[in-house]
Amino acid sequence: MKLTALMVLIFMCIVAQAQNTRLEILHGKTILLFTPHPDDDVFGAGGTIALLNRNQNKIYIVIYTNDDKGSYDPAMTSQRLAEIRKHEEEVSEGLIGTPKENITWLGYDDGMLEYASQPKLVEEATAIIRRIRPDVLLSVDPGEWYERWHKTDHRMAAFNTIDAVRAAEFWLYFPNQRLQQGLQPYKVPEMYFFYPSPQEANYFVNIDDVAELKFDAAAKQVSQFEPAVNKYRPDWEPADLAKAKSEMRSEQPRKDGHYVEAFRYATGFVQY
């Protein structure tokens, strides 16, 4: 038993060493985040993004869809909703330190990512990875059951991003990117997936210092919440805002009495 315990301890040390510096204390690195919709980045990882920006990392956000369907307002149009969501996202990310110049919009229609041309989708994401060459990549995880089975864009964004991570390291995938655009192959060293299933979450970032900032940033996505999701208005009644933020506080996961964001950490895949 003692020998087994020792072996487990040695194995755990090896695993711990395999992981580089903790995400929340990285400094001066390049971070690339893929998100299905222009709010999942803030809802799922906004506190972590705030900490990374505070630590002078360079963060790039790639948004697969324009989120142009999720409104109950009968007077809303898809074009207008896409414009509203773009503006809200820029304000929201701006509050946690990401300049809008660092946000890339792929422009797919809300709910339609699974029906987009898959070779084109993975080629686009591969080119972005090869161009940005991130030290760390963040992406949505198919994750919890409702993500896995009921959120088509989340599922597709998760699978497409990881397929692009694989393609990016072998130049024979989309060789025109190297031959015509000068994009060299690139192997992503570390990945963190937000919206993991609770059983698979293996990494937690303490966001106590930036939790209120995260809730403020999330609240900038006015059209995602009642009452604006039912009848659009660009601002909040103070009482509605207070209620929404109170719900965010109670719903934010906690661990050992601290606000946390949960991730599934992954590195060192054998890709071939």
Residues within the interface to Zn ion (CB under 5 A) = 36-37, 40
- CA 102/CA 182 separation, integer angstroms: 21
Q: Which among 32, 63, 49, 27 has a CA at the least distance from the CA of 131?
A: 32
Least distance to Zn ion, CB of residue 99, Å? 22
Of 36 and 47, which has the nearer Cβ to Zn ion?
36
Least distance to Zn ion, CB of residue 36, Å? 5
Of 174 and 192, which has the nearer Cβ to Zn ion?
192
Asked whether the beta carbons of 217 and 95 are under 8 A apart, the reply is yes
Q: Helices in 40-175 by DSSP H: which ranges?
A: 40-54, 78-95, 118-132, 145-150, 152-169
Least distance to Zn ion, CB of residue 194, Å? 11
- CA 88/CA 105 separation, integer angstroms: 14
Of 131 and 151, which has the nearer Cβ to Zn ion?
151
Of 40 and 68, which has the nearer Cβ to Zn ion?
40
Asked whether the beta carbons of 54 and 214 are under 8 A apart, the reply is no
Residue 241 has φ and ψ, to the nearest 5°, of -65, -45
Sign of the CA dihedral with 30 first, then 24, 106, and 235 last: negative
Of 33 and 167, which has the nearer Cβ to Zn ion?
33
**Residue closest to Zn ion when measured from CB atoms:** 37
Least distance to Zn ion, CB of residue 265, Å? 21
Least distance to Zn ion, CB of residue 10, Å? 41
- CA 83/CA 271 separation, integer angstroms: 38
